Structure 1
Amino acid sequence: MTQSPVDPTVLVSKLDLETKVRLLTGAAAFSLAPEESIGLGELNLSDGPTGVRGLKFSGGRQVALFPNATLLASAWDEDTTAEVGRMLAEEAMAQEIHVVLGPTINLHRSALGGRLFEAYSEDPLLTGKLAASYVRGLQSLAVGACLKHLVANESETARNTMNSVVDAKTLRELYLLPFEIATSESDPWSMMAAYNDVNGVAATEQDHVINEVVKGEWGYTGLVMSDWFATKTAAPAAAGGLDLVMPGPDGPWGQTLVDAVRAGELDESVVDEHLRRVLVLADRVGALGELREWPADLPAPDSPVRKEQLTRLAAAGMTVLTNDDALPLTRGTSVALIGRHALETIDMGGGSAQVNPPYQVSVAEGLTALLGDAVQVVDGVEVRTRPVAARPGFVLDPTTGNPGVHVTLLGADGTVLDDRHDAPPTTMVGFDDDFTEPVATVRFRARVAAEGPVEVGVIGVGAWDLRVGSSARSFELRSSGGFAEEMLAPPVEIGTVDVAGDDIIDGEVVLRPPASTEVVEGGTEIDATANPLAGVGLFGLVARPAPQPVDEVLAAAAAAAAQADVAVVVVGLTEEQETESVDKSTLALPGAQDALVSAVAAAARRTVVVVNAATPVLMPWLDEVDAVLWAGLPGQEGGHAVAAALLGDIEPAGRLVTTFPVADGAAPAWNVTPVDGDIEYTEGTFIGYRGHWAGTVPTPAFWLGHGLGYSTWEYTDASVSVGGPSPAVSVTVANTGERDSREVVQVYLEPSSSDEPVRLVGWATVSVPAGGSARVQVQTDARLWRAWDTESGEWSRIADGGRLLVARGLGDVRAGLPL
């Protein structure tokens, strides 16, 4: 791509102050304003953790749904994340998107974090290296990456107001380290400042983090933008290093920032520097000077090439946690496939990571496609407490007969603003609309592809009329006033009705206009005009099979299991637990899923459990079953990927990226609820496996790095070579199984000082044929051999001594090498 022939600094000098400041706030929800006088074109951004959603938060075009970040990271493979980066760049270019807002590289501090599914790992080295390769893949096609969220943003509870209290050593060695690694190894073109405060200062005003560390010490050349609606001030945020406020066109800068400059509160050179970085980003992505041409021959989201890629990537990251010769399944075996997650496989988390995929393949569909009539599918127990929008397929557009619903948006005078066929069963209003007037009424119309008792309802704030066949009712739904609640967790109303084959669901909601005041929790009135999301809401139609009595479900599952050669039970979490804006309160599986597994295991000859969750869950039935496959949130090809992994068509060679605690609270860091506004990172650098290894908490159920694959391995002749910036380890690994397989050789440093935690310092992957062997070298990373000295404010090398552990995860150490 041709670079702009004009220096961005020169272009900045041609603009007046008002124009400069205008260009430092988004022009819309996901775009930046053009400026013809300097050759600046419109620049488009899109959320992108598990797919490039595009410029619409809801109801946009169909795009590919990728496996979630923890599943992709479980490959422990930089080539995998580089391939994902290139695929996402293609998805972006197909929509003329210049910047993808990812990767998320916050750490898995507490397993309760609701947004962990978007982030790679609890380990900073693994996170940083995978992020760097993702960025390289994405930016190799001139689509910008955005590291997020800077920094100490590891939980969702009160995320807009909470204060992360983190000592300097912990901040440097853990939470800033992935950003540092990715910056030095891939030069990401943007970063995103978080919602929370850090040590009493807003993340969007962090002079120390943004100016001194990121732009100063690291020499970062890219742009730092705010998370959406995160910026709280004008001059303090601008002085603190924030370059761009999102979204727009309104925000806290504008005339306020202009006035601050003219009043001498902020030097205009600071504004100039921020705009220079905006122009550098625009230049890099082809939105400055000669504007880029977008390719027209990119793979469609439902194309054969995407199906192959997404199936392979998902299956390869799946992790065999236990296996008593029950996996892989043998063709010709009869299978009882049991569980709600088998029929309604959860393929993505909630919040801004959601996209509109062309389809989502369930495990029932995937396994039946490979085994045919050998599979008997049995529904499981209820897994939700909060109803969600109907799945396309269960509801059909009554006009076209295709999966989806018919959605109509109307203005106050009844003018049709938009009319959508085969649409998703939810739509966002007021956030990224491009209509000539505000939406006043939303109508949903659908036919249920089932008969009998069905749970039917609606989602969203407003006055509703709901009709199902001959029954009708009216009611009003209100929110409690929490930040972004109407957008991310709107109220729901449901009921059970008997549906006949030709019954139509009609739902119509009249939106409540934004009030001048809102009543929030505790009865306090606030000025609603200060809420940037006033008037924004998510609306949807609920339709799903009515829940059955638990004892009947368990009996049916046990009966099916007793008749089959093997029972496969699919359990897991949903977007209620794994979502933006909400943290978990427990790691226990929701509903009676544990009872379901135990009932099946008691009746079946062999029992395999598939865990459809992105993060750790408790497994009280672990000793009752023969194998456990952790499947993550596997994306649109999820069912095909799970089936391929179960049958061994693709080896599930993943390794865990997060330690699985044995019980609630049995982890070094647990609480995600602020106390007096603060979350204190009292565990310091001893999060996850580091704290478990130190013995401060019980031994986990499964360690970071654990994963069996479908073979067995022998390690011999381990040695360490000391020299250069950091030691290297060599070891011979032999595949002693009957299948070609892939191994992940991990090296951990156990320092001599008890004040320093054990830490991953390097790893290498190798594929070895059955009966073969390979010599593997792991170069340890010098950044993990240093400690931050709080008193001097400098790095120092950790004390000599200790040993290097060569392992298949810390629960399976194969060699200890003294230093």
Structure 2
Amino acid sequence: MPKPSDFAQANIDAVVDQLTTDEAILLTAGVGFWHTHGVPRLGVPPIKVSDGPNGIRGNFFFMGTPAKCLPSATALGATFDPELLEKVGEHLLAPEAKLRSASVALAPTCNIQRNPLGGRSFESFSEDPYLNGIIASAYVNGLQRGGIGACIKHFTCNDKENDRMGSDSILSDRALREIYLLPFMLAQKHAKPWAFMTAYNRINGTHCSENTYLLQSILRKEWGFEGLVMSDWFGVYSIDHALNAGLDLEMPGTNKWRTLDLMNRSVGSRKITVRTIKERARKVLELTQKCAQGAPQVLDGDGSEKTRESDEDKALMRSVAAASIVLLKNEDNILPLKVDSGKKTKVAIVGGNAKAVVLSGGGSASLKPSYFISPYDGIVNALPEGTEVLYAEGARAYMQLPTLEYDLVTPDGKPGWIGSWYSHTSDDSMEPISQPFKEQLVDETRCFISVDSPKGLTKRYTLRLKGQLKPADEDREFEFGLCSAGRAKLFVDGKLVVDNWTRQTRGESFFGSGSTEERGRTRIAAKHSPEIFVEYCNVRAPADGDEDEALMDSNPGLRLGGVVVKDEDEMMAEAVKLAGEADVCVCVVGLNSDWETEGYDRTTLALPQRTDELVEKVLKANPNAVVVTESGSAITMPWADTAKAIVHSWYLGNATGDAIADVLFGKVNPSGRLSMSFPKRIEDLATYGHFTSEHGKIRYGEDLYVGYKHHHHRKIAPLFAFGHGLSYTTFSYTNLKLSKPSFADNDVTVTASVSVTNTGSVSGSEVVQLYVTLPSGSDGGLTHPPLQLRAFSKVRDLGPGETRAVELSLDKYTVSYWEERIGRWVVEKGDYLIRVGPSSDALLLEDKLTLDKSFEWNGL
């Protein structure tokens, strides 16, 4: 009996020749949400793909398989450590994909953080295209070395979420090349991803999935890409335009354009040809064969999803998370914290994120963690026995009320609640039948059902969820919040508390399909465990301005949250009081996946609600308090001048608390560097005033001056500069030397060397960063960004007093710019300023690189 992995030896030419037109058509679109089509007659197996920016979720948004959640991409970028990222790809991500029976990871994301307000800013590595491309290359190389294909995304200019499917990114060809395409170009040069995913948006008038210039002229012809191009989910808007432009695979297979009927009609009307269909189908076959060769056990497996943890994996997760943490400020050497085990010490842990489950940003990056260590637990676990620990939330940081999976139990005491699924009397009926179709334990209260409802239900169905809220020692007023993509209502002990069923307000939850959160309060007596009952139907309720009761067939879901009602002033006062009493105070604040998520953009850089007020008051009560911030992108810190110690931890995944504690207590000397600039105020952003979509147009008015390039160009000091990050030791730089340029094969090679010395008393790691300033050009009229990162190296574990020579390789990418008039990269003869240092605003050494010849180039 042939095995699916036998396709590894198939003759692709022969298979293509034997394909019928219908079989070729089927290959060009997905099946369900996560699979490609197979052709059993010819031994072609289907392959499964999975979301993967910071972990491999698997097939299920609803009741997903517990998985490893890695630090966010901005955190991984902050390591400035390609070697570490290759290890992550090979030893964490690839094995996780195999456990989920997935052959391709839909990752990495390497768009540019044009503006930190972008909802998926956390999902990309950096605001800088060079750092972005080098880290993405390492991620891809590690993943594919492990036998799992990388689908790099989103190609390209997918830099914001609002209006993402219709918006038109309008930018110069030079900005497109030097900023937004460069990371993909570097990844193709150094790693050759097996697949590219197109972005939702348009570029200069044409959707990316229909953009012949992008997909054919640049990706395939200039860069020599031979892999597969797939769409983002529901990112196809035509049959002929996308197929003819070079989009090989439409995903997903639900509600698709590329049906047998429509495709054959398009052939008959000569909109497309069978030849083009087979060209696209060939790329699907080639990817399938690579998957069969890379990880045959995935295709030959039973398709089930598994969770596996080991001590080695947990240690690597913890070290990666710690390596990404950035020490922003450390006056008076407040850090590392010293808590003496021999004396009674009071440690106050305050802030809205201290105990919160904050793993990652939301959307495609979200997954169910196999384990999670909160900052509070990590800090407490690191403290010596006998330490007195004080805790207060101080100020709440959520947008939607926190989910309740840790607060609900079933009648027999299991975590969660019981879900009962009901078919309706017909596909068009709103009346559920009396007997449940299926009952199951549900261990989450954010139930993004997506396409994961039980097979065999009618198109319209009902889900009833019932559990008990854990009791408390005192009477309490409890506030519940309920939102749904569909309609839902909440009963507590049989009393209707939230009605999101009769009418609702359209919102942004569940990828824009859901309602706003409706809230309701009820009193709960001490020691009482009330019954919590939610009824949900996947047909949305009418709303003002939108009376359509649409069937939610792609993104149905509901979310129940809740919290004990507390007086905000009293919460604040309690946290400030504890901070003042404590010998050591750690204030953990930040954002979460409600604020930073796929589907919509942030509207402010400020921390949520009264968080900034809390930090200011805590610092006044305890000037030595350490502030730990959690976010996937830049935030403002109006209290930064007052704080003596600030640690930025990004989103760190499963090992969050342990990694933070490792840095706070000096077990790990911090070595992360900011992968993006942190501005002092929102008005200092390069994109301020032209970030939104105006009648479908997004004008990239900042052109080349993104992030730190804008700050240097306009001489606007950021709060913390790109590349900034402190250590518990100090370093000096000496002996910058540049080799004589060597020209060969339309390239130039230069080696920069510098000596780095650890001038402190503890071992530490330094990130050496090299920036270039290009000459103004032979005609004196061409401007360039004043500073561009073009090389970096992580110098690991440099001992006290130790000096190490660091070499940085420079090439044509270091000294090139895109010449729009001729459509080529240009290297001009002249003087290039090379500067080296620990961050973009602390360049300690400089030298002049003189090139005595110029040349033009294209390709890679």
Normalising by the smaller structure, the TM-score range is: over 0.9
Q: Offset at 1:376?
A: 1.6
Rate the CA distance shift 1:813–1:406 in 2: closer, same or farther, 3 A: same
- Report SS of the residue matched to 2:22: helix
Rate the CA distance shift 1:543–1:359 in 2: closer, same or farther, 3 A: farther
Q: What is the distance in 2 between the residues matched to 1:288 and 1:705?
A: 36
Task: List per-residue Cα deviations over 1:546-585 (Å, max 9, x = no partner).
Answer: 2x33322222112111121221111101222210011111
Rate the CA distance shift 1:482–1:378 in 2: closer, same or farther, 3 A: closer
Match of 1:763 in 2: 792
Matching residue within 373, 376, 385 for 2:399: 385
Task: List per-residue Cα deviations over 1:263-308 (Å, max 9, x = no partner).
Answer: 2222222111111110111001118997744599999454323321
Q: Offset at 1:9?
A: 2.5
Rate the CA distance shift 1:539–1:295 in 2: closer, same or farther, 3 A: closer
Match of 1:538 in 2: 557
Match of 2:15 in 1: 11
Q: Is the 2:673–2:723 contact (alpha carbons within 8 Å) kept by the matching residues of 1?
A: yes
Rate the CA distance shift 1:461–1:746 in 2: closer, same or farther, 3 A: closer
Q: What is the distance in 2 between the residues matched to 1:409 and 1:7?
A: 46
Match of 1:158 in 2: 163
Rate the CA distance shift 1:488–1:177 in 2: closer, same or farther, 3 A: farther
Q: Is the 1:127–1:178 contact (alpha carbons within 8 Å) kept by the matching residues of 2?
A: yes
Match of 1:442 in 2: 463
Q: Is the 2:378–2:661 contact (alpha carbons within 8 Å) kept by the matching residues of 1?
A: yes
Q: What is the distance in 2 between the residues matched to 1:527 and 1:489?
A: 12
Q: Is the 1:94–1:294 contact (alpha carbons within 8 Å) kept by the matching residues of 2?
A: no
2:691 matches 1:672: yes
Q: Is the 1:345–1:612 contact (alpha carbons within 8 Å) kept by the matching residues of 2?
A: no
Q: Offset at 1:157?
A: 1.1
1:226 alignment partner AA: S
Task: List per-residue Cα deviations over 1:324-348 (Å, max 9, x = no partner).
Answer: 1111111325321110100114211
Rate the CA distance shift 1:345–1:623 in 2: closer, same or farther, 3 A: farther
1:501 alignment partner AA: K
Moved more, 502-511 or 146-155: 502-511
Q: What is the distance in 2 between the residues matched to 1:683 and 1:296?
A: 48
Q: What is the distance in 1 between the residues matched to 2:358 and 2:352?
A: 10
Percent of pairs identical after alignment?
30
Q: Is the 1:566–1:605 contact (alpha carbons within 8 Å) kept by the matching residues of 2?
A: no
Task: List per-residue Cα deviations over 1:169-212 (Å, max 9, x = no partner).
Answer: 11111111111111111111111111111111011101000011
- Report SS of the residue matched to 2:682: coil
2:378 matches 1:370: no
Q: Is the 2:93–2:143 contact (alpha carbons within 8 Å) kept by the matching residues of 1?
A: yes
Match of 2:731 in 1: 713
> Which sections of structure 2, spanning at least 5 residues, go unmatched?
425-432, 743-747, 777-781, 850-860
Matching residue within 138, 143, 162 for 2:148: 143
TM-score of the aligned structures, taking structure 2 as reference length: 0.90
Task: List per-residue Cα deviations over 1:466-514 (Å, max 9, x = no partner).
Answer: 2223643462345666788566654322223233434234233241537
Matching residue within 615, 625, 644 for 2:633: 615
Match of 1:280 in 2: 286
What does 1:470-485 align with in structure 2 at a 5 Å threshold?
471-473=495-497, 475-477=499-501
Q: Is the 2:86–2:140 contact (alpha carbons within 8 Å) kept by the matching residues of 1?
A: yes
Moved more, 128-137 or 474-483: 474-483
> Which sections of structure 1, spanning at least 5 residues, go unmatched?
none
Matching residue within 62, 67, 90 for 1:63: 67
- Report SS of the residue matched to 2:795: strand
Q: Offset at 1:545?
A: 2.9
Q: Is the 2:30–2:252 contact (alpha carbons within 8 Å) kept by the matching residues of 1?
A: yes
Rate the CA distance shift 1:75–1:15 in 2: closer, same or farther, 3 A: same
Match of 1:428 in 2: 448
Match of 1:783 in 2: 813
Q: What is the distance in 2 between the residues matched to 1:98 and 1:473?
A: 45
Moved more, 405-414 or 216-225: 405-414
Q: Offset at 1:604?
A: 0.9
- Report SS of the residue matched to 2:127: coil
Rate the CA distance shift 1:201–1:89 in 2: closer, same or farther, 3 A: same
Q: Offset at 1:733?
A: 0.7
- Report SS of the residue matched to 2:8: coil
Q: Is the 1:464–1:507 contact (alpha carbons within 8 Å) kept by the matching residues of 2?
A: no
Matching residue within 601, 616, 622 for 1:604: 622
2:310 matches 1:303: yes
- Report SS of the residue matched to 2:439: strand
TM-score of the aligned structures, taking structure 1 as reference length: 0.94
Q: Is the 2:485–2:555 contact (alpha carbons within 8 Å) kept by the matching residues of 1?
A: no
Q: What is the distance in 2 between the residues matched to 1:400 and 1:117?
A: 40
Task: List per-residue Cα deviations over 1:15-67 (Å, max 9, x = no partner).
Answer: 11122111211110111122111111121111111211111122221111111
2:566 matches 1:551: no
Q: What is the distance in 2 between the residues matched to 1:461 and 1:298?
A: 27
Rate the CA distance shift 1:609–1:425 in 2: closer, same or farther, 3 A: same
Q: What is the distance in 2 between the residues matched to 1:112 and 1:576?
A: 13
Moved more, 465-474 or 422-431: 465-474
Rate the CA distance shift 1:685–1:2 in 2: closer, same or farther, 3 A: farther
Matching residue within 804, 814, 817 for 1:774: 804
Alignment RMSD (CA, Å)? 2.5
Matching residue within 771, 783, 786 for 1:748: 771
Q: What is the distance in 1 between the residues matched to 2:479 and 2:836?
A: 53
Rate the CA distance shift 1:505–1:722 in 2: closer, same or farther, 3 A: farther
Q: What is the distance in 2 between the residues matched to 1:27 and 1:6?
A: 22
Match of 1:728 in 2: 751
